[in-house]
Amino acid sequence: MMINNALTPEHHAFRDSLRAFIKKEIIPHIDSWEKNGQIERSIWKKMGEMGFLGLNFPEELGGLQLDFYYSMIFCEELSKCFSGGFTISALVIQYMSAPYLWKYGSSELQKRYLEGIISGDLISAIAITEPGAGSDVKNIKTTALRDGDDYIINGSKTFITNGYYGDFFITAVKTNPKAGIKGISLIVIDRNAEGVSAQKINKMGWHASDTAELHFDQVRVPAKNLVGQENSGFTYLMGGLQLERLTAAIHSLSTAESALEYALDYIQNRSAFNRKLKDFQVLRHNIAQMEADILVQKAFLKHCCDLQQEQVYAVKECSVAKLQASELANRVVSQCLQLFGGYGFTEDYKIARLYRDVRVGTIIGGTSEIMLEIIAKMTIDQVEYNTTASQNQPQKISYDE
């Protein structure tokens, strides 16, 4: 166990190598990816060759099987490339979709799909949200009805990152439409399967990433594409949400850090009324408060990473982290943009992109209102969310509500 999250020389060396990679292979292309609304597939292959897409996964599948602090560093550094769209695409692949294949997928599914993710040859997505069921997973309408050795899938999904240019979706479906949460399953659907169509969503931010609305019209999928056990999908999803929310929180806070660093660099030589901006007391105190807020939140996030490393099913902590980090990031980026004056409202400065990108942080992975309700249930109603298995094995989760 690491005391107080004391990173080793190996962790610091990894951070240095990752920073060098980002500077050489990612930063020079961000502007074109943002403009074109598409990330070049070659970057995933390069990241796969460096091992960056298999940090948590077993060596026998091509991964590096490293501790979670490497993933923490990965999320932090990738979030400072001034493109929320690129960062979220990477996080969706490694932390929001692939883990379901690792924990619950058959050896055949792992061979067909997970190894391709780790190598950078395949791009994955997680398809849960629907037009009529945002954060309300239990009310999804997409069905997968058994027909011999296949499932026939009909329905729609929306706001799916990597849904347009990705290769496959781990999809939440109703295999027993009358059973509520006990009738939800996860099934792998190939992007090019007959009956699958996708339409790009024109977003306010995250321009580099492809976000799509998906439609499934009589899509025939082999029953062997079922992830884990039939009708256990809701349990799997609830078990995976803590990692999703923790990585989203790290992303939000690191975005806030990069915005503050960017603003500090700007005000060093910027003057108004014959004084440097950095010498105005009101600006100095605003910056000091932002720094203090970031440091406090960062300490709590490191605590959450300690819990993740120890495989603790930390529902309250991850909910708090996601809530606080995303709300703080919105405030910090907004205040940083203000320091740029009119220039902050132009696309000539990256703060405008950060402002557009950071806003969705309070929405993805469960809105701030959902986080507050989870925390309220656990604090006021004494609701318990717990798991009886490790993070690396199929989990049985009880919901005492």
Q: How far is CA 296 from CA 7, 182, 300, 305, in A?
A: 19, 40, 7, 15
Distance CA 173, CA 195 (A): 16
* Residue partners of 74: CB distance under 8 A and separation at least 6: 18, 52, 55, 94
Confirm if 375 and 320 have CB atoms less than 8 A apart.
yes
Distance CA 291, CA 119 (A): 38
Distance CA 281, CA 127 (A): 48
Hey, what amino acid is at 289? Q
Q: How far from the centroid of its chain's Cα atoms is residue 17's Cα?
A: 22
Confirm if 189 and 160 have CB atoms less than 8 A apart.
no
Tokens of 390: 């490790």
Catalytically annotated residue among 244, 291, 347, 401 = 244
Q: Which residues does residue 213 pair with via DSSP β-bridges, in sequence order?
A: 199
Q: Name the DSSP class of 342.
A: G
Start-to-end CA distance of the chain, whole Å, equals: 33
- Nearest-CA neighbor of 245 among 377, 75, 18? 75
Hey, what amino acid is at 251? H
DSSP H or E segment with residue 387: strand 384-387
Can 244 be counted among the known catalytic residues? yes
* Residue partners of 178: CB distance under 8 A and separation at least 6: none
- Residue 179 has φ and ψ, to the nearest 5°, of -105, 10
User: Catalytic residues, which ones?
Assistant: 244
